[in-house]
Amino acid sequence: MKKVVVGISGGVDSSVAAIRLKNEGYEVIGLFMRNWDAALNNDILGNPTLDENICPQEQDYNDAVKVCEKLNIPLYRVDFVKEYWDYVFTYFLDELKKGRTPNPDVMCNKYIKFDMFAKKARELGADFIATGHYARIKDGKLLRGVDNNKDQTYFLAQLSHEQLENVLFPVGDLEKPMVRKIAEEYDLITAKKKDSTGICFIGERNFKNFLQNYLPNIPGKIVEIETNEVIGDHIGLMYYTIGQRRGLNLGGNKNRSYVVGKDLNKNILYVSSKEDEEYLFSDSCVVDQVNWIGEKKLDKCTAKFRYRQQDNDVELEYLDNGDILVKYNHVKSVTPGQLCVFYDKEECLGSGIIKEVRKNGKKLWYL
């Protein structure tokens, strides 16, 4: 009997992944990852005052215990707190300092779930590891999940071919309603549990209140880009991303303005109220930290610049330094720090991280 170690998160997707694997005849072991420790992280900062009362991690663990008891499978718990701090949270803070919009979930998959977790699973004698991601693997290729609304290949696109070997995605061929139905049939506590959203280590907390414990707020001016008029104050450039409308608190007709850029040196947040949104659209970007999952490298394919975004036709120009110039037609809110993920129909080819955004051959100065 083949042994598979499943990442049990305390959510419905990983619960059903365990059910399906057990029904297929695998010896199933659950493994819960503890990636955040408020007390330890506070000690690192020398700041013992953070309020962590609403961190959902312990509740998730309690739910994971109940699921595994129900399914009669063992559950182990492993701490990756230091590794998460070193490889994910530090990256998150460094990107914010640069004025970029990072995606820590991508780095968590790359360095924690499909690296540290996989090593621990092998220590437990695993032939395979499995997670509740909505994705599929076929003939060594990473394919989109069947449920287009839940497909998570975007978050897996920085993984290597080697990291995806001996990996199973048991819910990748299901749509979300069916996953919940299976959980209900087994009377699992996670069946109707709300999906986790946002950044995992922040949970339900206010983003600003959480972040100010790690990065100092540096308030500055909000400037309308067309007129160079100061129209308000921002609370810190790290709290804003390109294309953002909410939370600017400008009042009146200026309240429909959207973020079009940041000047880190002058600590200025640039906004525009133009209805045609000319400042948000670009026609190319440069990506670095390029990762190809397989050997297929196309000159033309499709790409997503944000999760849940529709596919965009792109042309790729491979630069001598290893970066890629990605050319496209009039795409909105392409943002430095986010992932550009390449696809060939159903296959996820790989990705790069957006380094700069261009329009008409020129770098957009305000990004």
Residue 269: pLDDT above 70? yes
Average pLDDT value for residue range 346-359: 96
- For the chain, the domains span 3-185, 217-272, 281-363
pTM of the model: 0.91
CA 207 to each of CA 198, 199, 212, 249: distance values in angstroms, whole numbers, following the listed order: 10, 9, 9, 16
Identify the pLDDT of residue 49.
Answer: 44
CA 193 to each of CA 13, 20, 138, 227: distance values in angstroms, whole numbers, following the listed order: 10, 19, 30, 48
Question: Catalytic: 108?
Answer: yes
CA 72 to each of CA 21, 40, 150, 212, 253: distance values in angstroms, whole numbers, following the listed order: 13, 33, 28, 43, 59
- Looking at the DSSP bridge assignments, the partners of residue 77 are 32
Tell me: the pLDDT tens digits for 65-75?
Answer: 999 999 999 99
Residue 93: pLDDT above 80? yes
Tell me: the pLDDT tens digits for 119-147?
Answer: 999 999 999 999 999 999 999 999 999 99
Nearest alpha-carbon partner for 241 in 207, 283, 216: 207
Cα gap 75→61, rounded to integer Å: 10
Cα gap 101→275, rounded to integer Å: 24
| CB atoms inside a 10 Å sphere around CB 264 | 11
Which residue type occupies 12? V
Average pLDDT value for residue range 255-276: 87
Q: Identify the helix (H) or strand (E) that includes residue 179.
A: helix 176-185
Identify the pLDDT of residue 45.
Answer: 46
CATH of 217-272, one of 2.30.30.280, 3.30.70.1400, 3.60.15.10, 3.90.79.10: 2.30.30.280
User: Following DSSP, what letter does each residue of 71-133 receive, concatenated?
Assistant: HT--EEEEE-HHHHIIIIIHHHHHHHHTT----HHHHHIIIIIIIIHHHHHHHTT-SEEE---
Which residue shows structure tokens 């718990």? 77
Nearest alpha-carbon partner for 3 in 74, 63, 81: 74
Give domain 3-185's CATH architecture: 3-Layer(aba) Sandwich (3.40)
Q: In what order do the strands lie in the sheet with 268-272?
A: 229-234, 220-224, 268-272, 258-263
Tell me: the pLDDT tens digits for 13-65?
Answer: 999 999 999 999 999 999 999 988 755 554 444 444 444 444 567 889 999 99
Cα gap 185→353, rounded to integer Å: 41
Average pLDDT value for residue range 75-83: 96
- Model confidence at 275, pLDDT cuts 50, 70, 90, reads low
Least confident window among 60-64, 102-106, 203-207, 261-265 = 203-207
Residue 226: pLDDT above 50? yes
- Model confidence at 335, pLDDT cuts 50, 70, 90, reads very high
Helix, strand, coil shares of the chain, percent, nearest 5, are 25, 30, 45
Average pLDDT value for residue range 289-312: 95
Tell me: the pLDDT tens digits for 288-298?
Answer: 999 999 988 99
Nearest alpha-carbon partner for 133 in 163, 96, 168: 168
Tell me: the pLDDT tens digits for 176-224?
Answer: 999 999 999 999 999 999 887 666 666 556 777 788 888 888 999 999 9
Q: Which CATH class is domain 281-363?
A: mainly beta
More confident: 211 or 12: 12
Residue 277: pLDDT above 80? no
Identify the pLDDT of residue 64.
Answer: 97
Question: Catalytic: 68?
Answer: no
Catalytic residue, chosen from 68, 108, 301, 340, is 108
Tell me the percentage of the chain whose pLDDT exceeds 90.
76
Cα gap 342→154, rounded to integer Å: 9
Which residue type occupies 338? Q
Across the chain, mean pLDDT equals 90
CA 286 to each of CA 9, 133, 198, 310, 359: distance values in angstroms, whole numbers, following the listed order: 35, 28, 26, 19, 11
Tell me: the pLDDT tens digits for 141-154?
Answer: 999 999 999 999 99
Identify the pLDDT of residue 278.
Answer: 77
Catalytic residue, chosen from 55, 200, 340, 348, is 200
Average pLDDT value for residue range 5-16: 97
Identify the pLDDT of residue 366.
Answer: 59
Identify the pLDDT of residue 365.
Answer: 63
